[in-house]
Amino acid sequence: MTAIRSYDAIVVGAGSVGAPAAMSMAEAGLKVLAVDRFPSVGQGSNKRAIGGLRATHSDPAKIRICLRSLEVFATWEELHGDKIEWNKGGYSYVAYRPEEERILKELLAVQKPCGLNIDWLEAGDLLEVIPDLAPDGLVGGTYSPDDGNASPLLAVHAFYRRARRLGAEFRFGEVVTGLIVEGAKVRGVRTDKGEYAAPIVVDAAGPWGAEVAAMAGIEVPVQPDSHEAAVTEAVARFLGPMVVDIRPVAGSANYYFYQHDTGQIIFCITPRPSIWGLDTRETSSFLPMVASRMVALIPRLRNLRVRRTWRGLYPMTPDGFPIVGWTRELEGFMLAVGMCGQGFMLGPGLGELMTRMALGQTSDGDRETLSYLSPYREFKGQEKLK
Ligand SMILES: Cc1cc2nc3c(=O)[nH]c(=O)nc-3n(C[C@H](O)[C@H](O)[C@H](O)COP(=O)(O)OP(=O)(O)OC[C@H]3O[C@@H](n4cnc5c(N)ncnc54)[C@H](O)[C@@H]3O)c2cc1C
């Protein structure tokens, strides 16, 4: 009988969260294995993300984690050489009505003390940053110039390559089917191809996060809902920041778009009501709905041709915040699930935090951050910038 291979930590899922977490753990000297059912890295929700990277959130936990992620994305090419199409274009949440103006201004009181570089711009100043915005009725908007965007696939591959160089092992095309448990402690994972031992197992299974937690008999409120996105042909640069319009209308709660480093406009909506389930077939309703909203906001977009639409899954939680922490029921079992619409931007900062958790080296600040993301919170609040 062959002995089962042993690791310091096993990560279930090599996506937006699992890949940078494995990299960070390997960087800290841990012997780490990441297992993913898909044939290569980032093939779950990661590759469906449109690439937005912001620390502009409504709570200190995501702001802090994403400030660190932004540092990683912004310096990646310089430090590691891979091109990930990082573009520091900033983010702008625009307001055409007093309701949105009030929400966005109230959030500044949380955002600024957390160190976020963000300000409210009156309409005239905002039009200098985004000259093509429809001026009629524009009240103003927030502008956070240090936010940006990058390619989710190039980035996850860069994290994967570095993780491998640092000694992390990846097993693709392999499904985790169960956890190995001894008493109240996790001892490893069982897959459709074998067994692997580790005193730490991380659930980073994205939209399938609840399924993996259920293998430990733990109920986690993560439910996938689907969002559609599209990309246009490439044109000369004319748009700086990611533009987010949070006015809800029939069919969509908000929508957002930006111009990628390579010239394409990439855009997305948040459907209202939510579309629950695992269906990722494109619809015929998405494009007419979002295109009319975008063209009303920036009339200059009307001549752009759309090249492709796609649909992917947000791993949603009831309050819109991620679930990160050790489980009380099973020692050594860590949850890093429910990233909602922000797993790509949370990934690198969260991977470092997960590594400090694994090493037992969390700071007071980390513990405060984790208190917001606790699996055992009441899920009563509601994220304002989903
Ligand atoms: C249209 C759209 C636009 C988006 N735009 C953005 C954006 O601009 N910025 C942003 O930050 N986020 C964005 N997101 C959200 C982002 O894609 C997700 O939050 C993120 O990818 C979730 O990361 P994850 O690592 O939790 O999940 P994933 O990236 O899906 O990784 C989970 C992995 O776990 C694996 N897995 C699951 N179960 C098992 C098992 N039993 N055994 C083995 N492997 C398993 C899966 O194969 C998968 O690869 C967008 C999402 C969509 C759909």
Q: Is the CB of 52 under 6 A from ligand 1?
A: yes
Q: Please list, in sequence order, all residues whose beta carbon lies within 8 angstroms of the beta carbon of residue 219, skipping any fewer than 6 positions away.
A: 210, 213
Q: How far apart are CA 175 and CA 159, in angstroms?
A: 21
Atom of ligand 1 nearest to the CA of 341: 15
3-state DSSP: the chain helix, strand, coil percent, rounded to 5? 35, 30, 40
Splitting the chain (386 residues) into consecutive groups of 10 residues, what average pLDDT does each group show? Answer: 87 98 98 98 98 96 98 98 97 97 96 96 98 97 98 98 98 98 97 98 98 97 97 97 93 94 96 94 93 95 96 96 98 98 98 98 98 95 72
Residue 73 DSSP one-character state: H
CA neighbours within 13 Å on the CB side: how many for 266?
19
Calculate how far, in angstroms, residue 208's C-alpha sits from the geometric centre of ligand 1: 9
Name the residue of 12, 16, 40, 62 to mutate for ligand 1: max ligand atoms within 8 A of Cβ.
16
Calculate how far, in angstroms, residue 58's C-alpha sits from the geometric centre of ligand 1: 21
Calculate how far, in angstroms, residue 211's C-alpha sits from the geometric centre of ligand 1: 14
pLDDT on residue 249: 87
Quickly list H helices, 96-241: 98-111, 123-129, 152-165, 209-214
| Ligand 1 atom 50, closest CA | 49
Q: How far apart are CA 192 and CA 195, in angstroms?
A: 9
Calculate how far, in angstroms, residue 315's C-alpha sits from the geometric centre of ligand 1: 7
Q: Note whether 222 and 323 are within 8 A (CB).
A: yes
Name the residue of 45, 202, 274, 345 to mutate for ligand 1: max ligand atoms within 8 A of Cβ.
45
Q: Is the CB of 349 under 6 A from ligand 1?
A: no
Q: Is the CB of 156 under 6 A from ligand 1?
A: no
| Ligand 1 atom 2, closest CA | 49
Q: How far apart are CA 267 and CA 142, in angstroms?
A: 19
Which segments of 152-203 are extended strands (E)? Answer: 169-172, 176-182, 185-191, 195-197, 201-203
pLDDT on residue 386: 64
Find the radius of gyration of the CA atoms of the chain: 21
- Which of 264-298 are b and which e, b meaning 16 or more Cβ less than 10 Å from the residue's Cβ? bbbbbbbbeeebeeeebeeeeebeebbbebbeebb
Q: How far apart are CA 125 and CA 130, in angstroms?
A: 9
Cis upstream peptide for 273 (omega within 30°): yes
Q: Is the CB of 208 under 6 A from ligand 1?
A: yes
Ramachandran quadrant class, 13 (left: phi over 0; alpha: psi -120 to 50; beta: rest): left
Q: How far apart are CA 373 and CA 352, in angstroms?
A: 15
